[in-house]
Chains A and B, each alone.
Chain A
Amino acid sequence: MKLYVLIPFLPLAAFIINILLGKEVLRNKAHWPSCLAIIGSFIISVITLFDVINGRVINEDLYTWIISGKFQVSIGFLVDQLTAVMLIVVTCVGSLIHIYSIGYMHGDKGYYRFFAYMSLFVFFMLMLVMANNFLLLYVGWEGVGLCSYFLIGFWYEKRAAADAGKKAFIVNRFGDFGFALGIFMIFLTFGTIHYAPVFSEVKNFVGHTVNFLGFEVDLITLIALLLFCGAVGKSAQIPLHVWLPDAMEGPTPVSALIHAATMVTAGVFMVARCNAIFSLSPDAMIVVAIVGAITSLLAATIACVQNDIKRIIAYSTLSHLGMMFIACGVGAYAAGVFHLYTHAFFKALLFLAAGSVIHAVVHNDIQRMGGLKKYMPITYAVMFIGALSAGGIPGLAGFFSKDEIIWSAFASHSEVGKFVWIMLTAVAFFTPFYSFRMIFLTFHGKFRGTHHEEHHLHESPNVMTIPLMILAAGAIAAGWAGIPSVLGGGAHFAHFLEPVVGHPEFHGTHAQEFGVMGLSTTIALIGLVIAFVFYIRKTDIPVMLARKFKFFYVVLFNKYFVDELYNLIIIKPTFWIARKFLVGFTDAKIIEGIVNGVPKAIGVFSNKLRRVHTGIVHHYGIFMAAGAFFIILYVLLWR
């Protein structure tokens, strides 16, 4: 019995137990199977990690699901260095979030349903990272999307939640369509969908072109970009980023697990996994880097003016995901995965701490908070650590990974390297700014809510704060695994991943590296200080700025009007055309004719055909004779 096989199947078992027994038998004990399962998965993941460190990489087909001629689909797992890291991220952060949820979801009437979906999500996520072929990856990919849809719309009685779930689902369809096409192209090109042969043969296809929609396109670029479409959808990059902020309607542990630590990083994971394909297409790499850079900067600026505590963190997530894509785009996959790994800790921490705050004040608006420091000291402390780590303050986890990305962008051979480096430096300013804006508005100053609300304020129970403290430790220390060599570390993380993602070739001296690091650190500290000045010392400055630069403020506050833009250029016209045709041409029966007509025609035909079955035996006999006549006639003539 291979132990690692249990990693995904323990959560699946928990899901089955919960869905079968949760409602009647387990009720408010429904967290037991789910929590035990994911903690079990975590323990096995750690064992597996040590196996991998000792050089035991697993790549095997466990079960061949479908085999027919050339076409083969198998359930097979690939556990290499990259997978091992992802396993630790998913199961470790996942376990803490599961435990936290016991407190957070306590008393909810969908308690068992929540844990069932969470377990199912973890199962699909683990399948996604452990797959050794594209089809299984796709199954996991769609599975996590489905669970995300369920969990965003978890409080489906709430209109906004149901709408957000739908939005996430629909927006992701755009990306997944490209992703599915990409996998199909891979199958057509290589005749297999297993990673190993695809990645080893891809270099033989350099320079091949293929006709796509009438254009001659480079085959590898096409495949890479189609795959990246999926990543853009799943990891909420521009222009498909609109679903993620809305997804905050779901319960906060869901936001922490799915929309910060794991699912949204699947896109980054997939790009890193397919580095063999991406690296061979400079054009695709540039697209990846640019999309990441634009998302990163735009999201960071939006985050500076939002008032919903969870949305601020959501935009921050977008921004960090953009940074990970930048790393991939400049060829520093290891840096991207490193940031994925540290980000999981500090972002889950921020979300859960925000959840703890929401638990106390029962709304999300930071303008109606303030002064929570004295009511919720633990939450304050851990969130402060999280913000420091996210802001890239030296010594903490976020610093090391972010610094590596910034340095990679600067030092890489990529044509757009310098450009994205400038954008990243700008992001380095905004990140601590919005993080601490949030902290200061939430925890410092006077409480700005109602008296009744103030009465309600309290620190969260231990079952919530203990996972927070563990995550805070992670947010501090997780980055120490990858301290760069200039700072006297061993860059162990990058070396560990080298067999999978290779080693990027940089040009640059140690002095330059120090310079880049110093610059971004200084800028980050400036951001922090400005936040301090704006929101603690001179609280009238932001109001004044907002009034003076009203245009910028409105643009940012409305998230660059992207939602409005989509509404205007996609949704409105669609509805307009639909309404125009439906109302205007009902008599002409254009849309009606197509939309209703085809099934209707089949229905009418069906009715006609049904009449043939008169129920009279003679007619049936005649039919048989006629049938016999026609087939004999056919054969007679055909020969």
Chain B
Amino acid sequence: MNFQVPELGPIVPELILTTLALIILIADLFIKRKEIVALMSIASIIIVTFALISSSGTTFGGMFISDGYSTFFKIVFFINVILCVLISMKYIIIEKINYGEYYSLILFSTIGMMLMASAADLIVLYLGLELMALSTYILAGFIKHETRSNEAALKYMLLGAFSSAFLLYGISMVYGLTGTTDIKTIAAIISERGLEGNSAILLSIMLLTVAFGFKIAAAPFHMWAPDVYEGAPTAITAFMSVGPKAAGFAVLGRVFMVAFASIKIDWATILIIMSILTMGVGNIVALSQTNIKRMLAYSSIAHAGYALLGIIAANNEGLASMMNYMMIYAFMNIGAFAVIIMLRSEGFRGEDINDYTGLAKHHPWAAALMLIFMFSLTGIPPTAGFIGKLYIFLAAINAGYTWLVVIAVIFSAISAFFYLRIVMFMYMREPKDEVVLTTSAGTGFVLGITTIAVLFIGVFPSYLLGFARAALAGF
């Protein structure tokens, strides 16, 4: 037997995180105060961040790649974890689900996302996706005593399994056509065997599109999102709306831009249709929502539509603007969810938009922060959301999709209705009865970080975009 230990350098962050996640899982048995478990998971993310900086290269026979692209996304995932864990600490006590497994599942899910971002092989991609998804299914159903949450988990799992079937079918077909699952080799074999116009390869791409579209909640594969986002614990909704979506975009970018680069025109057409549908459904249905979590679910669908423009542009500029958008979205969306979580208190859900009536009177700070995040989600300068959209749109225009950008801008204008409606409720109406805010150091910290990030990126956007561009060097 010729067994060689593969080079572990590039994969050190994943290894460390897995080890630490398992340690936390066991340590949870002995730790009474679950806040310590939460802090341990944040600490482990910080340790992994240091490991991440120095890791690069490919390993396991080219199945795993650590490059700038994956590193950028991993940083998005880390930010997502840290912020979501911080807003969870108090929240899960209120929801009476203060168990340590919560945090280790978040970490496992993150490992899955990291594997997706680094996957250079379709099998690793699939397994990473399942690891991420399985952990999220459980987290979505974490509030066992609430039907809503159970329902969310079950729906998510059933539909997730359905989409996995599409993914596997697509992967198997690609394997049948090319004899490989390695993303780089697929591209080589497609051009070598002249498969560009083959309808079977197009079919497999479409099947992959269905599965990835499901993960990023793009219409018409978005149906799960509102129900699941509404039912899941709010902190997990925040987690899900950023992490899995970013991971979905990471694989979408890598698979389509590397493996199927030669068939750009075909998948771009489909993505254009999907993107228009997604922006349309997300923005229009959000108008008639009264539950803020559900509204943000549709908003998250709409944002997937905007970000798709970056992939449609199909060049490094487009990818960079998409990555930029993901980072910005992480900050502004989690910020908004942090405010929502503050409204949740013992015996008060605070999810109906009527609960925001006159918030500015009693809680001017909370209202002001919500205002910033709503402005950012709408895309009003000088917030980060404006920058994100601007770069995405500019990239699409430079790639020749001006008409598509016009549509996106129209939908973006429609979105102002429902985002600013929250602002109007908070500022222009008299409060009915006083809402008690649940504040904690964690939430306060998250609000501080996200607000600063949203404003800083809005005013000084070139650092982040420069980082995204640099990450794409050699992609």
Q: Do chains A and B touch in the complex (CB under 8 A)?
A: yes
Report whether B210 and A639 are in contact in the complex, using a CB–CB cutoff of 8 Å. Answer: no
Q: Scoring A residues 601 to 615 as 1 if CB is less than 8 Å from chain B, else 0, what string do you get? A: 011011101101101
CB-contacts of A602-639 with B (<8 A): 602-603, 605-607, 609-610, 612-613, 615, 617, 619-621, 623-624, 626-628, 630-632, 634-636, 638-639
- Asked if A67 is an interface residue, CB under 8 A from chain B, the answer is yes
B462 to chain A, nearest CB (A): 6
A624 and B159 alpha carbons, distance in the complex (Å): 9
Given contacts A606-B288, A609-B285, A623-B220, contact A635 B166 (CB under 8 A): no
**B2 CB within 8 Å of chain A:** no
**Is A639's CB under 8 angstroms from B221's CB?**
no
- B206 with A68: CB separation less than 8 A: no
Count of residues in B whose CB is under 8 Å from the partner chain: 48
List the B side residues contacting A214 at CB < 8 Å.
Answer: none
Closest to A636 in B: B199
Q: Which of A58-66, A428-436, A556-564 contacts B (4 or more CB under 8 A)?
A: A58-66
Are A64 and B462 in contact, CB atoms less than 8 angstroms apart? yes
**B226, A65: Cβ atoms closer than 8 Å:** no
User: Are B159 and A621 touching (Cβ within 8 A)?
Assistant: yes
Known A65-B461, A613-B226, A636-B199; judge A71-B206 contact (CB<8 A): no
CB distance from B152 to the nearest CB of A (A): 11
Residues of B within 8 A of A605 (CB): 284
B210 touches A631 (CB 8 A): yes
Asked if A377 is at the interface of the complex by the 8 Å CB criterion, the answer is no
Question: Known interface pairs A64-B462, A603-B287, A628-B166. Does A613 touch B223 (Cβ–Cβ under 8 Å)?
Answer: yes
Closest to A622 in B: B223
Which A residues are CB-close (under 8 A) to B210? 624, 627-628, 631
Given contacts A631-B270, A638-B269, A639-B202, contact A68 B284 (CB under 8 A): no
In the complex, the chain A residue whose C-beta lies closest to that of B390 is: A66
A71–B394 touching, CB < 8 Å: yes
The interface residues of chain B lying within 8 Å CB-to-CB of A628 are 166, 206-207, 210
Contact of B162 among A63, A606, A621 (CB under 8 A): A621
Is A599 at the interface (CB under 8 A from chain B)?
A: yes
Residues of chain A contacted by B221 (CB below 8 angstroms): 623-624, 627
Query: Which chain B residue lies CB-closest to A628?
Result: B210
- Docked pose: A67 CA to B317 CA in angstroms: 11
Q: Are B266 and A639 in contact (CB under 8 A)?
A: yes
B443 at the interface (CB under 8 A from A): no
Note all chain B residues with C-beta closer than 8 A to A488: none
Residue A69 interfacial (CB < 8 Å):
yes
If A613-B285, A617-B158 touch, whether A624 touches B220 (CB-CB below 8 Å) is: yes
Q: Least Cβ distance of B187 to chain A in Å?
A: 19
A478 CA to B431 CA in the complex, in Å?
56
Residues on the B chain within 8 Å of A619, using CB: 223
Smallest CB gap from A70: residue in B: B398
Q: Which residue of B lies closest to A23 (CB)?
A: B364
B64 within 8 A of A: no
Number of A interface residues, CB 8 Å?
A: 36
Any A CB within 8 A of the CB of B425 = no
CB-CB nearest in chain B for A618: B158
A636 to B197, CA, bound (A): 11
B460 within 8 A of A: yes
Q: Say yes or no for B417: interface residue by CB 8 A criterion.
A: yes
Interface residue? B391 (CB, 8 A): yes
A602's contact among B155, B214, B287, by CB below 8 Å, is which? B287
Q: Name which residue of chain A comes closest to B226, CB basis.
A: A613
**Using Cβ atoms and an 8 Å threshold, which residues of chain B touch A69?**
394, 398
Across the two chains, which residue of chain A brings its CB closest to B284? A606
Q: Is the CB of B223 within 8 A of A620?
A: yes
B220 CB to closest chain A CB, in angstroms? 4
B209 on interface, CB distance cutoff 8 Å: yes
Chain B residues numbered 282-326 whose CB sits less than 8 Å from any CB in chain A:
284-289, 317
Selected contact of A607 from candidates B158, B288, B391, CB within 8 Å: B288
Residue contact B197 to A639, C-beta cutoff 8 Å? yes
**B191, chain A: closest CB distance, angstroms:** 18
Per a CB cutoff under 8 Å, which of B289, B391, B414 touches A68? Answer: B391
**Is the Cβ of A627 less than 8 Å from the Cβ of B220?**
yes
Can you spell out 17 A-B residue pairs with CB atoms less than 8 angstroms apart?
Answer: A64-B462, A65-B460, A66-B387, A66-B462, A602-B287, A602-B414, A603-B288, A606-B285, A613-B227, A617-B158, A617-B159, A620-B224, A621-B159, A627-B210, A628-B166, A635-B266, A636-B202
**Seed contacts A606-B288, A623-B223, A632-B203; 16 additional CB < 8 Å A-B pairs:** A63-B460, A63-B462, A66-B391, A66-B462, A69-B398, A606-B287, A612-B223, A613-B223, A613-B227, A620-B155, A630-B220, A634-B273, A635-B202, A635-B206, A635-B266, A638-B269
Chain A residues with a Cβ under 8 A of chain B: 63-69, 71, 599, 602-603, 605-607, 609-610, 612-613, 615, 617, 619-621, 623-624, 626-628, 630-632, 634-636, 638-639
